[in-house]
Amino acid sequence: MGAYRADDDYDYLFKVVLIGDSGVGKSNLLSRFTRNEFSLESKSTIGVEFATRSIHVDDKVVKAQIWDTAGQERYRAITSAYYRGAVGALLVYDVTRHVTFENVERWLKELRGHTDSNIVIMLVGNKADLRHLRAVSTEDAKAFAERESTFFMETSALESMNVENAFTEVLTQIIHVVKEGPWKVGMTQRLCPRDKPLMLVARMMYPL
């Protein structure tokens, strides 16, 4: 129940979504980042799960509410509500299964069709520890990320490689957008108290 505990001890609250094909390791990325746990026997997510974790970024406390849903096609009806209010996304593929990388373009199109144009997106090549089974080169993934203007990182939820870095980079970039970008414009004067304008802007970004 810890993920649902009311807690006002933060400066920003952001909704981040995990998307990608089934079996790419989204749930293990979530559990590694939020609880430092990994399960070799984890099953496909059914419906939606979310967990939270607070970290320090730029001298601010950032609370991330991270949503994880199934990648199977039969659950795609929930996507509209799933994406609503998200300001960050980790688009995950499995470096050992090329088809999951091929599907990234479709996931990206769907993501951008349901979210604000300023959403921060990190392309994540997971299971990088399986070096002998690699089917997607780092160079190809980097080229795709550059072409689509997304960030990119390879991770291993098993070895805890770059998991912290991937989530932290997304949250850091979201803060920069909130401080300097159009999410802030217009909201602060109309709806936010003068003492904590940015915190309220951040909370507006996901449905309560």
Domain extent at residue 10: 2-203
Give the mean pLDDT of 139-154. Answer: 97
Backbone φ/ψ region at 32: left (φ over 0), alpha (ψ -120 to 50), beta: alpha
Give the mean pLDDT of 50-71. Answer: 87
CATH code assigned at 178: 3.40.50.300
Query: How many residues does the structure list for the chain?
Result: 208
Rounded to a whole number of angstroms, the CA Rg of the chain reads 17
- Per-residue confidence (pLDDT) for residue 106, from 0 to 100: 93
Give the mean pLDDT of 49-55. Answer: 89
- Per-residue confidence (pLDDT) for residue 197, from 0 to 100: 33
Are the C-beta atoms of residues 99 and 136 closer than 8 Å to each other? no
SS3 55: strand
Q: Residue 91 falls within a domain, yes or no? A: yes
DSSP strands (E only) in 26-114? 48-57, 60-69, 88-94
Q: Residue 208 falls within a domain, yes or no? A: no
Q: Which residue has the higher pLDDT, 51 or 191?
A: 51
Give the mean pLDDT of 134-163. Answer: 97
Query: What does pLDDT average to over the chain?
Result: 81
Are the C-beta atoms of residues 89 and 16 closer than 8 Å to each other? yes
- Per-residue confidence (pLDDT) for residue 49, from 0 to 100: 79
Q: Report whether pLDDT(75) > 70.
A: no
Give the mean pLDDT of 61-81. Answer: 74
Report the run of H or E that residue 123 belongs to, with start and end: strand 120-126
What is the pTM assigned to this prediction? 0.81
Structural domain tally of the chain? 1
Q: How far apart are CA 94 and CA 181, in angstroms?
A: 32
Q: Which residue has the higher pLDDT, 199 or 96?
A: 96
- Per-residue confidence (pLDDT) for residue 74, from 0 to 100: 53
Sign of CA dihedral 180, 82, 51, 4: positive
